[in-house]
Structure formats: structure tokens, C-alpha cells
Amino acid sequence: MMEVFGANVHRSPSQLTEAGRKLALDPKNHSGSLGIAISEAVEAAVTDPTVAYALGSVLNHVLMHQTIIGEEALKQLAKVGETPDLLVGCTGGGSNFAGLSFPFIREKLKGKMNPEIRAVEPASCPSLTRGKYAYDFGDTAGMTPLMKMHTLGHDFIPDPIHAGGLRYHGMAPLISHIYELGMMTAESVGQKECFAAAVQFARTEGIVPAPEPTHAIAVAIAEALKAKETGEEKVILTALCGHGHFDLAAYDAFLNGNMVDSAINEKDFEAALAALPVM
């Protein structure tokens, strides 16, 4: 679709940048990641005066811009006279989750409501639930400034799951900070469970969700079923941050039984965490 409108599209790691060529030498990097793509984008920007790089996630100003999501959700809920008992969102770099949750955290701090705030991340890239809170680079090649965040290590390359937007080694510093303060919780979910929830959602709501928000959908469905069992009335809020029309190959893999969950253990994290900058 981008090529239809005149763009040139290259996979990452590419042969167009020094960072891409260097990282491509290691077979573990061949599936790419957001961290690798950021390294290539930063290099393209700093080596060409005609190129500018617009950051899309992780950094503070991006998260604050995204809070239009939560501000609108507050107004929508006010119109029906409801406040959420549980707010659940998918997390990769953190911009969408922060965009939804931060206005509600503000209202919670004011004492106007008391929702549980929960982040849901991929089991194969669990920066909040299994990462370390430390200073790290925001990209794989180490070209960005250091940021204090929950990280799996900038060398960590996630398995090639279908939720590409969540395949990032670190979590936004602001989200990492409020997580450390105990103002939110986090859990991780495997992609097969996510896609089962996605199919249920599509057949119920008529919208095919992108792989990223299926993580939140899976937990929202599970929590709704728990409330149904206990007879508890519960208002659950989540954000559908994208449609899955460009991800139909993923649905094809799931519906035909070809999708697998990653088997991650501590050894998968040790090497990347060992490469964290010494502070």
C-alpha cells in the first residue's frame, strides 16, 4: 500500500545503513525488531541534513500527545454515567497504553475514581514483567540517549510474533516510573490466547482487531468472565488501537493451526541484560 503511494519499502535490518549491515551479520537479528529499525532511522536522520526523524513511541512528549485517547474516553464514559473498575491496555513501547491510562491515573490521584490500571504485554517480549529497571539505550545499536526504563536489554531480539508493534525491548520511562510506584500492574499473554480472543471479538463486534490490541482484549474477556462467575458488576475499559486488515496472514496462521507460542526462559534474557550499560 505504501508503494502504491510512491514509497520505497525495505525490510530491517537493511543493507542501506551501517547499523543495518552490521546488525544483519548476526543471524539472531534477521527477524528484526523495533530497536533495530530505530537504529537505522536515527542513522538515516543524522547522516542526511534533508531527513528528519519523528519519534512515534516511548518518549515523554509522545505519551503526552497520545493522552487525547484517554481524555476522549473520560468524556464518553461521563455521557453514560460510568467510571471504569478496570482499565486494560496493550503495551510495547507504551504510547498507546499511556495515552489511554494517564488521564484516568490523574483522576484517580484526585480521588474521583479508583480503577485498577493493568498493562498487557507479549509473553515473548515481557519488559515490564521480566525486564530490569535500569538505564539502557532505546535502540539496538546504542545510538540514542540512555533512558531509565524497564528493559530486556537493547541486544534482546524478540521472537517474530505477529504483534510487531509490541516487539520492543524497553518500556517508556514514564510508564516504567509509575509501575515502580505501584500505580499499575502488568501481565503477559501468549499470542495464541490473544488470537483466540481476537476471533471471538471479531465475531461478536464485527471488527477484526490488529494483533497488538488483542493482548488487552484477551485479558478484558478473561476478567469479564470472572465477573460473570462471581456475579460482580464490573466496568472494563480497553482501547482498540488498530484494525487487523493488514494482518490477515496472522489470522490465517491461527485459523489453520500454524501459530505457535514462544518458549522463553531466563537464559534468553541473560545475555542481553548482561550487555546493559554500566552506570
- pLDDT of 265 strictly over 80: no
- State the pLDDT at residue 111: 97
Per DSSP, 166 falls in state: G
Domain containing 173 equals 60-274
Q: For 111, left (φ over 0), alpha (ψ -120 to 50), or beta? A: left
Of 58 and 199, more confident: 199
For residue 230, the SS3 value is helix
Total domains in the fold of the chain: 1
Residue 186 CB-half CA count within 13 A? 26
Is the Cβ–Cβ distance between 191 and 122 less than 8 Å? yes
- State the pLDDT at residue 30: 85
pLDDT band at 57 (very low <50, low <70, confident <90, very high): confident
- pLDDT of 118 strictly over 90: yes
Does residue 231 form part of some domain? yes
pLDDT, tens only, 161-206: 898 889 999 999 999 999 999 999 999 999 999 999 999 999 999 9
Provide the CATH number for the domain around residue 86.
3.40.50.1100
For residue 88, the SS3 value is strand
Q: Say what percent of the chain tops pLDDT 90.
A: 82
- State the pLDDT at residue 253: 96
Number of residues that this document lists for the chain: 279
Does residue 172 form part of some domain? yes
pLDDT band at 228 (very low <50, low <70, confident <90, very high): very high
Does residue 37 form part of some domain? no
Per DSSP, 145 falls in state: P
Does residue 14 form part of some domain? no
- State the pLDDT at residue 27: 86
Does residue 72 form part of some domain? yes
- pLDDT of 262 strictly over 90: no
Q: What is d(CA 118, CA 219) in angstroms, rounded to the nearest whole number? A: 9
Does residue 47 form part of some domain? no
Pairing of strands 116-122, 185-189: parallel
Does residue 73 form part of some domain? yes
Per DSSP, 203 falls in state: H
Does residue 3 form part of some domain? no
- State the pLDDT at residue 165: 86
- State the pLDDT at residue 157: 85
